[in-house]
Structure formats: structure tokens, C-alpha cells
Amino acid sequence: MNKHLLKIAPPKQASGWVSWLLLLALALIWGSSFILMKKGLTVFSPVQLAAIRVSSAFSILCLPAFYHLRRLRHVPWAILFLSGLLGVFIPAFLFGYAQTHVSSSTAGILNALTPVFTFIAGLFILKSQAASPYKLAGVIVGLLGSVFLLLSRSGGRFSIDIYALPIVVATLCYGINGNLIKRYLHHMKPLHVSTLSLLCIAPFALVLFWVTGVPGMLQTGDSHTWQAFFYLFLLGTMSTAIALILFNTLIQQASPVFASSVTYLIPIVALFWGIVDGESIGWMHLVGMCSIVGGVVLIHRG
């Protein structure tokens, strides 16, 4: 990443306004995913949430997945399956479980840890990153911000909010997945990786969709049940499927550096929806967000 990410790096093409629209659309979609999970969890369990989310995304991307499958040879199915687990399936469960206890705004802020754990995973697990003073400082600042958010007031004392830890684990999964793709799937187009990794995990999501009784709930459910299902269907189709297409388009229209700037905007959107929904936003949220985003900026500058 270049050294000017304190200001969002400008698009590289003349049609810059299109790239800005795509960036803002992505920030709105991904930043809104946490409030959609919160609304869906009023009816469905975390396991059902994950099943609906992945199944909905697959309903949009199944045709592209089979189309790309016919055009590829020597598909690395094991790595694609692992990528699907770490990049979609496991985080869907973790976020669902966490958001039965933590606010959507907190979830959105902690999600910004993804670049921090991408660097950590590359440095210590896959040995694909090089350390620098900026990057190491960014890791420390980002992790301090997450620790600050994990602290909650309880009876006038600070205590660890263990229910926010699954979100931290989910961002670690995202970080490991990003390094796996970079090392083992670099020869494949991003759209191929995303559609085929989703194809690998879709059967498990479809089985869970039926086994956990989602069809029966929809058949006998009231308008509130269908409304919650719509929120999760929107989560899967927009936040997973459509956002993937927009992100790949943005990389082609502008640059990976410009596309990565969405990391800074997602927590702001998540905080906005939290305020609209009546969540309590305190100074700890703001300090934690600034610390995490500041850590990401330092990592990118390094």
C-alpha cells in the first residue's frame, strides 16, 4: 500500500466519479450488514442465520460458479474449500453468535480489525509479510483498540465482554483467508475464487437450512418471521454476493489501494445504523474505532 492512505487514495481512471459511487455503495452494503444480522436474529438462531446467509448468496452466484467451473482446469478444491470456510462459513456463525449479545455498532467497529489480522497472519503463520516500524505500530494500536472495545462497564468496573471475542476470531479467519488466497490462489481470478469457494460450502449451508427447520418456520410464520428472513436474505445476496461483484469491479475501475479504503468507511456506517436503531454509543466506541482505524492506516503506510 502506498504512503498516502491517510487520505483515501484517488481512483486511477478519468471516470473517477464511478469509482467513488462504487466505494460508497460497498461501504453502505458492508456497513449495513451488522444491523441486518441484528434484525434477523430477532427470529432466527445464529446457526440459521449462517445457513440463510450462505444459501442466499449461493442462490445469486450458483450460475456464475458453474460457468467458471466449466472453464477451469486443475481446480485446487482443498484450498478453495478452506477459503470458503474461513472467508464465509465460520465467520457467519461467529458474527451471528456474537450479535446475540453485542451491539451491531460494536460488531461493525471490530470488523475493521481484518487488515490487522491479515498482516499478523502473513507475518507469523504464512510468513508472507515483512515487518516494518509502521506495520508493527499499526498492529499494536489496532489491537489496543479492540481490547478497549472488549472492555465493558459492569457495576462500575471494567470487565471483559467475552461475547465480542467471536468477532475477533472471525476477523482472524478473514486475515488467514486473505493470505491463503494470496499464496495459493494467486493464479486464479478473484471472481473465480469467490464463486468456487462458495460452491464448496454451499451444500453444508443448504443442509443446515433444512435441518434447522427454516422452511417450516417460513411456512407457519407470521409477517415478523418473513421480515426477519428478508433481512437475512438481503444480507446474503447484497453483503456477500452483490458486494463481491462490486468489489471486483472497483478493483478493475480504480486500484486495490483505492478499493481497500472501504475499510475506513464500514465502521462509520455501522455506527450510524446503531444510532438510528437506538443503540447506546459511548466514548469507548469512538475511542476504540479511532484506534482500530488508526492501526489500519499505519499498517497500510508501512
Per-residue pLDDT of 76-129, as tens digits, reads 899 999 999 999 999 999 999 999 988 898 898 888 888 888 888 887 776 656
Percent residues over pLDDT 90 in the chain? 34
Region 197-201: what's the mean pLDDT? Answer: 91
**Location of C-alpha cell 500500500:** 1
The predicted structure's pLDDT at residue 256:
56
213: pLDDT strictly greater than 70 = yes
C-alpha cell at 157: 468496573
> What is the Cα–Cα distance from 12 to 16, expressed in whole angstroms?
7
C-alpha cell at 272: 450510524
Mean per-residue pLDDT of the chain: 83
User: Which of 141-155, 174-188, 226-240 shows the lowest mean pLDDT across its residues?
Assistant: 141-155
Amino acid, res. 245:
I
Find all residues with CB under 8 Å of 86, minimum gap 6, and list them.
173, 174, 176, 177, 180
2: pLDDT strictly greater than 60 = no
> What is the Cα–Cα distance from 70 to 199, expressed in whole angstroms?
13
The predicted structure's pLDDT at residue 138:
81
Burial of 15 (0-12, 13-18, 19+ CB in 10 A): exposed
Contact, 245 vs 46, CB < 8 A? no
